[in-house]
Amino acid sequence: MIRPSFLPSFILMTLFTMSLTSDVSARQNLDDVEQHLASFVDSRVEAAIDLLEKVVNVNSGSMNFDGVRAVGAVFGEELGALGFETRWIDGSAFDRAGHLFASRGDKGPHFLLIGHLDTVFETDSPFQQFSRESEGRATGPGIIDMKGGDVVMVEAVRALLAAGVLDDMTVTIALIGDEESSGDPLELGRASLVEAAIEADVVMAFEPGDGNPGTAVLARRGFTGWELTTTGNRAHSSSVFSEETGYGSIYEAARILTRFQEELVGEELLTFNPGLILGGTTVDFDEENDRGSAFGKTNVVAEKTIVSGDLRTISPEQREAIKERMRELIKDNLPGTTASLSFRDSYPPMGQTEGNERLLAIFSQASEDAGYGPVVAGDPREAGAADVSFAAGHAIMAIDGLGMTGGGTHTTHEWADLATLPMQTTRAAITMYRIAKDW
């Protein structure tokens, strides 16, 4: 469900920005518990911002293992005080810090809430501190991607506990320690998340989404890496195109990339990008770090070329079909050349299901009743790969993009719209309560 064509995204964003401060008079459709939830969240805005400042000021770049664990310890203490059993899953087996999991309850619907502890800002980054620039705006490393979303999660369950309804549901919280730079093997690093998802009924993830609080993420494209290797006959350039020498590896790589572009461009929600190419007499490619070097001369036919790229698809079916078409397109090699193609599946696609649409309808109604206006599905093109994709296919319904919003993610200008902290908290808490009440 892409946003309606008659309501352009810029208009939707403008209308929603006008309603970030809830119209309290519009809350008449909330029942007594929901009124309590909304009021409790409003009463804790400054305390929630203090918690946000505390975790933002702890550097937790993916490779700063001590920092990731320290942020996990802060959230573990908060959740422990709310009656959650917490456990740290050591990440040494996949060369990362690990993950914090917390669980509470044993009845009602089982919610899996997903966030992550790490950021893209390592200890050598110049961007290290929370700064409150105004009443409604703050900056800081990872403030919306996604420590703000983690705080929304904690505050939502805190509100549910204060309203006396947290015991009517089962809640598992997964705070992943390597979302920004995943460990290897990825399957091992996400095994605990998949296990939790299998037990869950409803998955709610708190990434910042497309930056528009009037949208939520119902579908994400998956990520698959691919590597094309072509070979040719090394020879003096004066004999290129001859029957004995052939065309060389670089011409063959160019032919194949051109065929990819001509044959595959245009399929809905499909992208494939050659991000790195090395070709020459000798090639040295560091696959793990996506870098390399090549040596060659203008008067020598290239012997080897490597192209490394990514493939983004909206469903497993599309992914496998495109892989097969790409394999077919590397055939019929130019004279004197060979070509091989390999794939490495990483993040799976998150498909847009009826269950996800049903969850969005509940969330949107909660938003309207709380005075924040409706929420529609965002464009999957605006949503990159995320951990929710490992979980969504195992649950009845799933949604993402429920965290704080702002802008400048992954840059030293990352900022948060602080008004979205209580808004997202209230909407999530009411949604969980309504699902549990009707379960």
- Contact yes or no for 247/241 (Cβ under 8 A): yes
CA distance linking residue 304 with residue 277, whole number of Å: 11
DSSP code of residue 144: I
The pLDDT of residue 24 is: 65
φ, ψ dihedrals at 313, nearest 5°: -135, 160
Q: Which residues contact 425 (CB under 8 A, 6 or more apart)?
A: 41, 48, 152, 155, 156, 159
Chain segment 194-242, per-residue pLDDT in tens: 999 999 999 999 999 888 999 999 999 999 999 999 999 999 999 999 9
- Contact yes or no for 405/211 (Cβ under 8 A): yes
CA distance linking residue 269 with residue 288, whole number of Å: 27
The pLDDT of residue 385 is: 81
CA distance linking residue 316 with residue 336, whole number of Å: 35
- Contact yes or no for 22/414 (Cβ under 8 A): no
**Unique residue bearing structure tokens 């093997």:** 185
- Contact yes or no for 347/222 (Cβ under 8 A): yes
Distance of CA 2 to the CA centre of its chain: 19
* CA-CA-CA-CA torsion sign (72, 75, 81, 87): negative
3-state helix, strand, coil in the chain (%, to 5): 40, 25, 35
- Contact yes or no for 194/395 (Cβ under 8 A): no
- Contact yes or no for 332/311 (Cβ under 8 A): no
E-only strand ranges, 184-266: 202-205, 215-216, 222-231
- Contact yes or no for 346/3 (Cβ under 8 A): no
Residues of the chain with pLDDT below 50 are 1-15, 17-18
What are the chain's domains? 9-220+349-437 (3.40.630.10), 223-345 (3.30.70.360)
Distances (CA, A) of 66 to 27, 80, 106, 149: 44, 20, 32, 21
CA angle, 265 then 266 then 270, to 5° = 80
Distances (CA, A) of 88 to 56, 62, 103, 110: 20, 16, 12, 21
